[in-house]
Structure 1
Amino acid sequence: MVVYQSNSTNKRSRGFRVRSLSHFAERRVQSQKLPSHEDTYPEPGKSKVTEEKPRETRDEWVISIKDKVNKARGDVTASTWDKLCIYRVPHYLQEDDKKSYFPQTVSLGPYHHGKEHLLPMECHKWRAVNMVLEHTKKGIETYVDAMKNLEETARACYQGPICMSSNEFTEVLFLDGCFVLELFRGTKEGFTEIGYAPNDPVFAMGGLMHSIQRDMVMLENQLPLFVLDKLLELQPDTVYQPGLVAQLAVKFFAQLMPTGEELTKMDKVESVDLVGDNGELHCLDVFHRSLFKSTRTPDGKSLKKSMSSRKQQLIHCVTELKGAGVKFRRKKTDKLWDIEFKKGYLKIPKLLIHDSTKSLFSNLIAFEQCHANSSNDITSYVIFMDNLINSAEDVSYLHHCGIIEHWLGSDFEVADLFNRLCKEVVFDPRDSYLSKLSGEVNRYYSRKWNSLKATLRHKYFNNPWAYFSFSAALVLLILTLVQSFFAVYAYYKPSS
């Protein structure tokens, strides 16, 4: 009996609390005037018009619109788009993988300056500045004044407004520029030789160097090359010549090269000659040109970009091409674009894939998508490889042929890397420098006789013993036919 009363009491108390809370919620909804379902989701064909008190007259409204138009016209005429070369990565590219486009260790330039996770590197930048001043025996005023004179031109290299004061922007150019030059100088001469400790956490070939190199080839993390040129020119012991910074950059980024062969001395000289002393360039563009040697295609014809997002196949995958009799071979060259198809053999230079390859290719593709004067060589190459690689089996076979070497966990990860790289890229296969070669491969693939030969070879002659068995059977068949012939011949023409 006591238990029952207690339960009744609890039920009544809970009911009172529920009614109280319900009443409180109703009062709160009324006081806040929350929108009803009809307000939030109006019926089709009806639109809710909220009446507001007129804040300005029609003439004032028209004048404000004219002011906006005039401002836009002034922005267009005052803009220097011919210098624009450092871009914000479009959102459609970075949507699924922001880490590949944003620096994780060091910031260069204004876009990511001051971000919390990059602040620990700032003290090391000032160490580089101190080393530059001690090395050159020049006052800091000389460098700051030189950067001040380049401020307007440098701002024009960046997409969108830079929300920094003149002094802040100049300081970023000076600080980051000295840091980059010290990295270049240490790579060329040796970090211990120029005064850094062997166990330095930054200025050494170990430690954070690989992460720094990866961040320095990101599109949003760049300095105009002419800024580095000017800082290097101010150093008294340097015999300055056009293209020297580009030469140092090529040497610094050599470890990131995805080619299987090391750049020859002649190729390095050619790479430097092509980038020259162009103020529109930066480290990512230098890296791009060192891979493809030029902003033009190998046959010397410029590529025209096409604003087409059609998903077209450039070439069949490895498994399908093997079934049609196409044979794969590694081409011994460091020229990444030098792919050849001849007499059924598709020869491809070796591709080295490491943990920075995805970020590297992603930013190179983003640069080609954004920069009007850039070729689409990297995009063409990556899409070509993406078409070849559909599965881990395709990667395994290319690895067996010596075409792909990777340091990732599995062949599946390599296949997934290529399948994701060009997911949202605007590209027309007809504008690829590999379109002609792909057409030749596809025509070879379409010939039935090639498929039949490949089927016979893969199914019946897939090991040396099959050839011996076939040869023995063929000899036995010939002997049987000869024996039968003489038997028949003796029957119709017996000996006299």
Structure 2
Amino acid sequence: MEKKPSDGEETERRRTTEKKPSDRRKTKRSEIIEGSHQANEEESLLTHIRKDSIKSETIEESDHSNRPREVGDKLVKSTVEPLQQVVSIDKLVQVLGSYVVNQKVPEKQNPAENEHVESPDFVIGICKKLDEVLHQQGGHSIFEVPSSLRKQEPDAFIPHVVSIGPYHRNKKRLQGMEKHKWRVLGHVLRRTKYPIEFYRDAILPLEMDTRNCYDKLFKKFSTSEFVEMMLLDACFILELLNVAVNGIKHCGASWTWTVSVDKLALQFFDSVLPGIAQNLPKFKRNERPRLHLLDVVRRALRPSSWFAPSPDEQPFQTAMHSVTSLRGTSVVFEKKDSTKFTDIEFSKGVLCIPPLVIHDSTKSIFLNLMVFEQYYPGCSNDVTSYVSFMDGLINSAKDVEYLYDKGIIDHGLGSSEDVANLFNNLRKDIVFDTNDFYLGKVSHDLNKHFNNTWHSRLAVLKHEYLKDPWKVISLGAASFLIFLTLAQTIYTILGYHHPLSKGSL
């Protein structure tokens, strides 16, 4: 049987187990102090461990220093034109590495994820992605038109006759010209007498560079399909340029298969400006190659007096006055004998503007050229400047009619109001840099001439008094009366100071 404790033993046990509140507080305080000492010791131990890990990672990074240096060399070699400065990749690796290592990891963070971030592979991965993005940005020269512009003018950016490149290659309504490209290829082979292997070997090494020209990947095209497309399009473009310069008769019978090709050539070159085919730029070996058909046309339209504004120069005033307003300040408009419609000059009150032929496709051509100038890195905005200048000159149908009478504008649209609306709506959603405005000096001189006090008063006189015939008669009569009064006053003064002698009569 279990022995029960006596009453004395039970009382002693209760006395030893029960303590006073003050004793319990002292015990709890001592436990907290001991816990803090233990936490400090653990933190100190973790600090030593972290320092050792940092040293080991530093040693490991020094062992693998060749890998980030190779990535850095690759990044430096892939310097892109829009970037004026490329940061040293070694410095980038050093900064990112030190930042990642020195960050304190929260207690709730997964240690495995922290080890991945602190590893050298994380920094190398960032460098590779940066290298890839910069390389792609520098190689793109053919861009897809933004959806905002396509919604406003859906027909302006869609080919209607022939497709060049992969964007619209499989459109059913363009397949007729795809067959004609094969006829052109056969004509080129017969004329040059080179085998097809010769052209294949010349184009095949350019496949990847050509793919990189597009901002959109075309993985559905195999190497053979893409090279075939390059060969057909290249021969077609060369023959098209040959047609534009020499005519159809000099390019063989294959071009007489369809009249639309002739219309395309004339529309793409001559209808924009008579004689533009003769102004196609000649390529030089030391000159930057053209990476787009629009770039070739744009450079052909560049004025002979074009200059790049200096960054130190003050931005020229781009606000323009209309033709009607400028005529009121004695500005004379004259047709300039030039084959480049962007070659505009202003001197001694005379504004010389080359002729411009406007037709149904003018809007599409201008929009494509302006979009190319917006998205191609380092491209000047010559065409955008010209459109902005003409937009300022033309505010109404009356302005168009005056330029038409002067031979500056020739159009086949419905009315002068349609031409005015064409220029007033071309620059929607187009960003325009006023510091890169080749017509800035012309605009500045025109505004200076307009703001001249004498010219402004003359404009008020013309608009207020010379429009109404009765006001002209009243102004003439008043001027004649003032002249008679002035003459009478002069004779009176002369008679007073120099009286006639009596014997002189």
TM-score bin (small chain): 0.5 to 0.7
TM-score if structure 2 supplies the norm length?
0.64
Note the aligned Cα RMSD (angstroms): 4.1
Q: Deviations over 1:304-346 (max 9, x none)?
A: 9xxx9xxx95212223333444333323323433322333333
Between the aligned partners of 2:344 and 2:303, the Cα distance in structure 1 is: 15
Amino acid of the structure 1 residue aligned with 2:338 = T
Between the aligned partners of 2:298 and 2:431, the Cα distance in structure 1 is: 19
Between the aligned partners of 1:426 and 1:301, the Cα distance in structure 2 is: 18
Q: Which moved more, 1:330-339 or 1:348-357?
A: 330-339
Amino acid of the structure 1 residue aligned with 2:230 = L
Aligned match of 1:92: 148
Aligned match of 1:287: 297
Q: Does residue 139 of structure 1 match 2:195? A: yes
Distance of aligned partners of 1:102 and 1:480 in 2 relative to their CA distance in 1, 3 Å threshold: same
Decide which structure has the larger Cα Rg and report it.
2
Aligned match of 1:298: 306
Between the aligned partners of 2:311 and 2:469, the Cα distance in structure 1 is: 47
Deviation at 1:74, TM superposition (A): 5.8
1:95-494 map, 5 Å: 95-163=151-219, 164-196=221-253, 199-201=256-258, 206-211=259-264, 254-258=269-273, 262=275, 268=279, 271-272=281-282, 278-292=288-302, 298-299=306-307, 301=309, 314-461=319-466, 478=483, 482=487
TM-score if structure 1 supplies the norm length?
0.65
Contact 1:314 1:435 in 2 (8 A): no
Between the aligned partners of 1:406 and 1:446, the Cα distance in structure 2 is: 32
Unpaired stretches in structure 2, ≥5 consecutive residues: 1-109
Identity of aligned residues (%): 40
Contact 1:354 1:406 in 2 (8 A): yes
Q: Deviations over 1:347-366 (max 9, x none)?
A: 32222212221111111111
Q: Deviations over 1:169-228 (max 9, x none)?
A: 111101111222233334455434543168521xxxx434334666xxxxxxxxxxxxxx
Between the aligned partners of 2:230 and 2:202, the Cα distance in structure 1 is: 10
Give the secondary-structure state (helix, strand or coil) at the position aligned to 1:281: coil
Give the secondary-structure state (helix, strand or coil) at the position aligned to 2:155: helix
Distance of aligned partners of 1:62 and 1:371 in 2 relative to their CA distance in 1, 3 Å threshold: farther
Distance of aligned partners of 1:274 and 1:168 in 2 relative to their CA distance in 1, 3 Å threshold: same
Contact 1:303 1:432 in 2 (8 A): no
Q: Deviations over 1:402-461 (max 9, x none)?
A: 322212111111111111111111113243122233222223323343222123234444
Unpaired stretches in structure 1, ≥5 consecutive residues: 1-56, 215-252
Between the aligned partners of 2:246 and 2:500, the Cα distance in structure 1 is: 96
Distance of aligned partners of 1:85 and 1:488 in 2 relative to their CA distance in 1, 3 Å threshold: closer
Give the secondary-structure state (helix, strand or coil) at the position aligned to 2:253: coil
Distance of aligned partners of 1:72 and 1:191 in 2 relative to their CA distance in 1, 3 Å threshold: same
Amino acid of the structure 1 residue aligned with 2:228 = E
Contact 1:275 1:289 in 2 (8 A): no
Q: Deviations over 1:338-395 (max 9, x none)?
A: 3223333333222221222111111111111011121111111111111111221221
Q: Which moved more, 1:154-163 or 1:170-179?
A: 154-163
Between the aligned partners of 2:325 and 2:131, the Cα distance in structure 1 is: 56
Contact 2:328 2:458 in 1 (8 A): no
Contact 2:328 2:462 in 1 (8 A): no
Contact 1:84 1:157 in 2 (8 A): yes
Q: Which moved more, 1:84-93 or 1:403-412?
A: 84-93
Give the secondary-structure state (helix, strand or coil) at the position aligned to 1:414: helix
Between the aligned partners of 1:371 and 1:475, the Cα distance in structure 2 is: 64
Amino acid of the structure 1 residue aligned with 2:242 = R
Give the secondary-structure state (helix, strand or coil) at the position aligned to 2:380: coil
Between the aligned partners of 2:480 and 2:411, the Cα distance in structure 1 is: 47
